[in-house]
Chain A
């Protein structure tokens, strides 16, 4: 079956621009996570959805970051007024239930010039 997919795979933008990153989880997975991974580091938690609601958004670094999951499936991570420090690989993962095996997507590599 299809795994977690993320689009785009690469995004290059200019400082100050707005970007949207999309995640398509595995069908039937109720939990969805967004992480950010910088080179040489482990994934850094951003936000966790259980169904349509954000169960925990404490990892979002500031109010420029926002994520939605309106129908409990696809999720979009939105970043306003991008900064060079936002450059990283953004990973999405889904799981069946909140504390089970996480299936990761291939990630979106965001580069802010």
Chain B
């Protein structure tokens, strides 16, 4: 079936370090969404990418969609303790398949 692979599974960083999570699909995606889930919370929408090669920025967060629309990444510059949580990609295969997530821990 359709699958999205997300790596790494965990990332522990010192506050101020950068963080990147990657999402890969074996098939071309129509679009991809990114969500953040805080511990004990529910997923919260961050961004949707639609176009090949698209790059979007939200303050310290940079989202990219690959040229072949098979992969995507989320990069956080200079992490803060408020960035703690699990980041999921959700690939649109006419229904949304979520990756297994990257759990980010930030040490102050």
Chain A interface (Cβ < 8 Å from any Cβ of B)? 33, 35, 40-45, 48, 56, 58-59, 91, 93, 99-107
Whole-angstrom distance between the alpha carbons of A56 and B97 in the complex?
13
- Residues of the A chain whose Cβ atoms lie less than 8 Å from the Cβ of B90: 42-43, 102
Q: Which bracket fits the contact residues of B?
A: 20 to 34
Cβ–Cβ < 8 Å partners of B95 in chain A: 45, 48, 56, 58-59
> Could you list some 16 contacts between A and B, CB below 8 A?
A40-B100, A42-B88, A42-B90, A42-B100, A42-B101, A43-B90, A43-B98, A56-B95, A91-B43, A99-B31, A99-B92, A101-B33, A101-B48, A102-B35, A105-B42, A106-B41
**Cβ-closest chain B residue relative to A4:** B42
Describe A's contact surface by its main secondary structure. loop
Residue of B nearest to A105 (CB): B42
Most chain B CB within 10 A, of A59, A93, A99, is at: A99
Q: Is the CB of B44 within 8 A of A104?
A: yes
Could you say which residues of chain B place their CB within 8 Å of the CB of A59? 95
Task: Tell whether B94 is near chain A: CB-to-CB under 8 Å.
Answer: yes
| Chain B min CB distance to A5 (Å) | 11
